[in-house]
Each structure stands twice: as C-alpha cells, then as structure tokens.
Amino acid sequence: MGTAETTLQLTLSERQTADFEMIGNGGFAPLEGPMGSADWKRSVEEMRLSGGGYWPIPITLATDLECSEGDVIAISSDEGESLGRLNVSEIFERDVELEAEKVYGTTDDAHPGVAAIREEGARCVAGTYEVDTLPGHEDAFMRRYLTPAESKAEFEKRGWKRIVAFQTRNPIHRAHEYLTKAALETCDGLFIHPLIGKTKEGDIPADVRMHCYEALLEDYYPQDRVILGVLPAKMHYAGPREAILHAVVRRNYGCTHFIVGRDHAGVGDYYGTYDAQKIFDEIDLDELGIEPLMFEHSFWCNACEGMASGKTCPHGGDEHVFLSGTKVREMLGNGERPPIEFSRTEVADILIEAYEQDPRLK
C-alpha cells in the first residue's frame, strides 16, 4: 500500500506501542493491525479470530481520537518516534466488562490486566498498519533482537528441527534452569525469549534481567544449543489465555515446542497453579502448530541432593528449598544473598547490586 497523506496524529501508549511492534515485526501474525469488532468478539468468546485460528486475547487500539472510516492516522510511539500509519477500517465500542470476565476471569480492578483495559476505555479504532520503522530499544536489547523471520533463519542455519521456547519475565533461577535443560534434552535448541515490554510495578526491570540471562548463559549452558532473544510484547497477566498467546507467538518465531510451567503468566491468586497447562486440553494442538511441554513446580531437594519436582522426588517439603518471589525480593532489598540452591551466585550478585543502585526497585 502506498503512503497516504494524513493530518491526523496519534501517539500510542507504551502498551499500544508494544502491540504495534509485535504486529509490525510479524510476532502477532496474522494480525496486520488492531482488531475490528468481529475479531474482538470471537477472540473474547471463543479464543479465535473471525477467520479462524487461535487468538485468545484481543489486540485492540482504544483511543478518543476523532476519526472516520477511511482516514489515515500518523502513528508515533510513546516516546515520540514516528512509526508509520494506520488505515482506519472500523470504529467500534468494545464491552470492557465482558472482555475482563472472559479473558482475565475477573472484573476486579486490582488485576493489572483488567485495570489496563478499563483505563484504555471502550472506543476502539481498527485497521491495518503501514510500518515505516519499529520502535527503538536500548543497546542491551537490540544486540539480542531477532524478528520472527530472523529467528527462523537462525534456527535453520544451525540445523535445528525441534526448538523449545522459554517465556520469562523474571531472572532465571535454579528451577527455571532445571526445566529449560530438561526440555533441551529432547530438543535440538533452546530459545530463551524474555519479555521486555510493559510489565507490572515490582517486576525486575528488563535490562537487569538481560544482564542475569547473559551471565547464566555464559557459564551454565552450551553456547551452540541456546539462543537468547527478546520479546517486545507487553504482559497481560491473563494466565491460561496468555499461555496460549505466548505459544502462538513462539510458533510465529519458528519454535516447535513451548515450555508451560507453574502459574504461567499469572498474577496474585486469580488462577490455579496449573490452569495455564489445563487450558491446552481444550486446544487442537495440530491446529495450534506448537506443542506445549508441561512442567510441575521444581525445587532443590536436600535429600535428593539436586533439583527435582513432585514427579521425581519422594521426600517431604521440609527437605525442599523454595523461596517465594516476595521473599527473594525482600532478601535482595536487604542485601542478603538467596541460597545457592535457589539462585546461581552470578545472578544473585547482579540482583543485589541492582537493588542497591536502581531506584525502580526501591
């Protein structure tokens, strides 16, 4: 489509900028722009697009900008970068309460995903994006940035046929290391794909996490079997539905398998511990195009003298080393090192320094 003249301007929010990037780089294929009412409705009610294919969370553009169908809107990022244009095909009102109930399983404002869509509002503009450029990122991210086309090319270059993806928004501790290596035992390659988009207050900042990942990969993973990328998407904290979205996205990046662990994409007590695994029982995996690998909660067992899970360890909980995220943050904030059975020394050092110096963690 050729470039059209426009006088309409829209600066996206941080969350909307992440959606633009995921659409523009191919991570949200087959979406070509923010959803219209038909896609929104079927995504909310059936976890599908109007034309078929799984899509469990609506990707919409809520705005009060006065515009009409057929208009072309110049799009800028939340930081003011000129990104491209939106060709408007529809303007509609979404049912925010229905979306909250169906997608997030709650209408509680304390849920960050529900709070976000309520803040955005009901009026949505749909259409297709013309992408001139993708949003910029810090160098720490850009040196690891791969588009779906680039990751597929890299997998092919390495001769990988079975590629397992690991989604994370936290530093990798010993339990994560254990399950990624267990998955790697049956796959050719591991794609560690941390999310660097908008997370919630209190999460470890993305740049600190990248430092942790790189330190861990340098000493504890085979370099020729692992690729570290970055996912510029936002978190929805939609639990089970987001696990499916994360799988769809990793399929688009060329992965054949996807790790689904304990409380995947959850927040608070809104979802059951393994709800994000159970939802795949409702999914046609052949149609989905990527296979979930289910892992139980893992831990260090003093009696086993190693990492284990409920599937492999016969011992009681008094032998297990498990720390909640709250407890770990409390320890780091006090300059205390989590036990080696929970976190590698190199990772703990990075986190302690970050807690001492980074005002985002105060």
Amino acid identity at 37: S
Q: In the numeric block, which tokens belong to residue 109? A: 């404002």
* Residue type at position 167: Q
Residues 260, 294: contact at Cβ < 8 Å? yes
* Interatomic CA distance for residues 97 and 142, integer angstroms: 37
> Which tokens sit at 294?
């289910």
Q: What phi, psi does 187 have (nearest 5°)?
A: -125, 160
For residue 337, the one-letter residue type is R
The CA distances from residue 259 to 131, 187, 295, 355, in Å, are: 31, 12, 7, 29
Q: How far apart, in whole angstroms, are the C-alpha atoms of residue 341 and residue 300?
A: 6
Query: DSSP letters along 123-182, please?
Result: EEEEEEEEES-PPP--HHHHTT---HHHHHHHHHHHT-SSEEEEEESS---HHHHHHHHH
Cα–Cα separations (whole angstroms), residue 34 to 18, 79, 92, 270, 306? 12, 20, 12, 27, 47
Mind telling me the catalytic residues?
169-170
Q: In which order are the strands placed within the sheet that holds 8-11? A: 8-11, 72-76, 82-93, 123-131
Q: How far apart are CA 239 and CA 60, in angstroms?
A: 19
Helix axes 345-357, 325-333, angle to 10 degrees: 60
Structure tokens at 190: 């591991």
Phi-psi region at 202: left, alpha or beta (left = phi > 0; alpha = psi -120 to 50) = left
